[in-house]
Amino acid sequence: MDFEFALWQMLYLFTSPQRVYRNFHYRKQTKDQWARDDPAFLVLLSIWLCVSTVGFGFVLDMGFFETIKLLLWVVFIDCVGVGLLIATLMWFVSNKYLVKQQNRDYDVEWGYAFDVHLNAFYPLLVILHFIQLFFINYVIISDSVIGYFVGNTLWLIAIGYYIYVTFLGYSALPFLKNTAILLYPFALLIMLYLISLACGWNFTKMLCSFYKYRVK
């Protein structure tokens, strides 16, 4: 497993995600497949999940067994479960509606769709389960305007990253058309963000309450 290359990918998913997908092009040319064949990225992502979830449990003052339950929830529901649903949906939609020419040679691999999800999930994970931890107890959970502004803005950035990296993943495939429609959720995201600020909704506070409920 090439952990050095996987770390390089994780870095560039933040700074220049287009470079990550150029490597997928190279893999297609050399190994005739778009999806990853090295589990190193998944292993490092799993480590990130474990470390960040333990940090989340600590910030929320959870006990040992509650933190383990939270870890299982984050891994098998938030990452894998939701990822399987999104990857399958995107795999179906892209093959059904976005392929320029219906041909066996022009087919979005399901494994590639899941890789795109993992690529997009990693920045979201770091923003919501790591960077946000430093602000939860002292800023975000407070019943102040600055609290839900900071929290909801982090959600906006995290989900925006997810949408953008997902778009890049499918726009990198030369046999797909009209991939710009994958950016349309940005409009709904910004609208929801503005409504949340106007109504005083605190998404992070809701998430923390939900996590505490799930691990009881």
Is 157 in contact with 166 (CB distance < 8 Å)?
no
State the DSSP string of 154-193. Answer: HHHHHHHHHHHHHHHHHHTSTTB--GGGGGTHHHHHHHHH
Is 57 in contact with 66 (CB distance < 8 Å)?
yes
33 pLDDT more than 80: no
Residue 29: Cβ within 10 Å count: 8
Alpha carbon distance 42, 79 (integer Å): 11
Structure tokens at 52: 């960040």
Question: With a threshold of 0.95, does the pTM exceed it?
Answer: no
**pLDDT per position as a tens digit, 48-101:** 999 998 988 888 888 889 889 988 888 888 888 999 999 999 999 999 899 887
Name the DSSP letter for residue 143: S
Name the DSSP letter for residue 142: S
- Reduced to 3 states (helix: H, G, I; strand: E, B; else coil), residue 100 is coil
Residue 102: predicted pLDDT? 67
Instruction: Kindly report the backbone phi and psi dihedral angles of residue 103, in degrees, each rounded to the nearest multiple of 5, phi listed first.
Output: -155, 145
**pLDDT per position as a tens digit, 158-207:** 999 999 999 999 999 988 999 999 999 999 999 999 999 999 899 998 88
